[in-house]
Amino acid sequence: MFRPILRSSTSLLTRTLAPSLSPLSSSSTLLRLRALSTESRSKIQGAIDSSPVVLFMKGTKDAPQCGFSRAVVQILDMHAVPEEKLKTYNVLADEQLRNDVKEFSEWPTIPQVYVNGEFVGGCDILLGMHQSGELETLLENNNIIPKVPEGEPASS
């Protein structure tokens, strides 16, 4: 959803920085690029495909270890996302996963939410979508939660 915006910003940054970067550059700033292995990419894609809603977070759903992860869990709870349609992964239990998922999504922070295999965003994006009503629509359109019949107030 927001990946094209991030990619265009990254491309602009790359084009801007590229001329000043060379293997023999004496700059004290080191730019480290790392390619995600096929195995890691496959594992993350498998995790994302394992459930309609996937949340990479710090801690567990019952015991979040960061305020942003807690907020995302609370937002999903407010929308009554069924337990059987939500899979969470504790990135604090696996440092490799914590680094790889950021590279996979090209999003620098945790938590990260995927709906039906599509990256949605982190806490700030989810909060904004919740406040605008977009999250409820997204969850309804992807058959995560039932649609609210016409005339009935939406829950929030």
In terms of pLDDT, which residue wins out, 86 or 18?
86
Least Cα distance to 123 among 45, 69, 43 occurs for 69
Report the domain count for the chain.
1
CATH of the domain at 58: 3.40.30.10
> Residue 27's pLDDT is what?
40
Summarize pLDDT for 60-73 with one digit per residue, the tens. Answer: 999 999 999 999 99
- Average pLDDT of the chain? 83
* Residue 147: strand, helix, or coil: coil
> Residue 25's pLDDT is what?
43
Least Cα distance to 112 among 89, 128, 79 occurs for 89
> Residue 154's pLDDT is what?
58
Confidence of residue 150 (pLDDT cuts 50, 70, 90): confident
User: In this prediction, what percent of the chain has a pLDDT beyond 90?
Assistant: 71
Q: What's the whole-model pTM score? A: 0.75
The torsion of the CA quartet 45, 131, 64, 39, rounded to 10 degrees, works out to: 10
Q: Say if residues 81 and 139 touch (Cβ distance below 8 Å).
A: yes
> Residue 155's pLDDT is what?
57
In terms of pLDDT, which residue wins out, 100 or 20?
100
- Provide the domain limits for residue 62: 38-141
Summarize pLDDT for 100-141 with one digit per residue, the tens. Answer: 999 999 999 999 999 999 999 999 999 999 999 999 999 999
Determine, yes or no, domain membership for 58: yes
Residue 39, pLDDT > 60, answer yes
Residue 13, pLDDT > 90, answer no
CB atoms within 10 A of CB 15: 9
